[in-house]
Amino acid sequence: MTRFRALVTGCAGFIGSHLSERLLSDGWQVVGVDALTDYYSRRIKRRNLRSLLSHRRFAFHRADLNRMDLDRVLRSIDIVFHQAAQPGVRASWGTTFHIYTDCNLLATQRLLEAVRGRRSILKFVFASSSSVYGNVRQLPMRETQRCEPYSPYGVTKLGAENLCQLYHANYGVPAVSLRYFTVYGPRQRPDMAFHKFIAAALEGKPIRIYGTGRQSRDFTFVSDIVSANVAAAIGGQCGGIYNLGGGTRVILRDALRILERQLGRPIRLVFEEHARGDVDRTGADTSRARRDLLFRPKTNLAEGLAAQIAWHRQMRAEGVL
pLDDT tens digits for 92-137? Answer: 999 999 999 999 999 999 999 999 989 999 999 999 999 999 999 8
Q: If you average pLDDT over every residue of the chain, what do you get?
A: 96
User: For 143-159, what is the mean pLDDT?
Assistant: 97
Q: How many CA atoms lie within 13 A of 2 on its CB side?
A: 9
Closest by alpha carbon to 13, among 103, 85, 78?
A: 85
DSSP state of 206: P
To the nearest 10°, report the CA torsion of 258, 264, 270, 273: -30
Q: What is the pLDDT of residues 168-215, one digit of tens each?
A: 999 999 999 999 999 999 999 999 999 999 999 999 999 999 999 999
How many structural domains is the chain composed of?
1
- How much is the pLDDT for 84? 98
Residues 6+ apart with CB under 8 A from 24: 30, 52, 55, 57, 58
Give the Cα separation of 223 and 158 in Å (integer). Answer: 24
**273 has pLDDT over 80:** yes
User: For 40-59, what is the mean pLDDT?
Assistant: 97
**1 has pLDDT over 60:** no
Q: Is 153 a catalytic residue?
A: yes
| 275 φ/ψ angles, rounded to the nearest 5 degrees | -80, 135
- How much is the pLDDT for 2? 60
Q: Which amino acid is at 35?
A: A
Q: What is the pLDDT of residues 61-88, one digit of tens each?
A: 999 999 999 999 999 999 999 999 999 9
100, 150, 153, 167: the active-site residue = 153
Q: What is the pLDDT of residues 2-47, one digit of tens each?
A: 689 999 999 999 999 999 999 999 999 999 999 999 999 999 999 9
- How much is the pLDDT for 277? 86
Neighbours of 73 (CB within 10 A): 19
- Whole-model pTM? 0.97
C-alpha 164 chain-centroid distance: 17
DSSP state of 200: H
- How much is the pLDDT for 83? 98
292 touches 236 (CB < 8 A): yes
| 153 φ/ψ angles, rounded to the nearest 5 degrees | -55, -45
Query: Residue 232's domain is classified under what CATH number?
Result: 3.40.50.720
User: For 217-229, what is the mean pLDDT?
Assistant: 98
Which domain covers residue 62, as residue numbers?
5-318
Q: What is the pLDDT of residues 228-249, one digit of tens each?
A: 999 999 999 999 999 999 988 9
Residue 149 burial (10 A CB sphere; 0-12, 13-18, 19+): buried
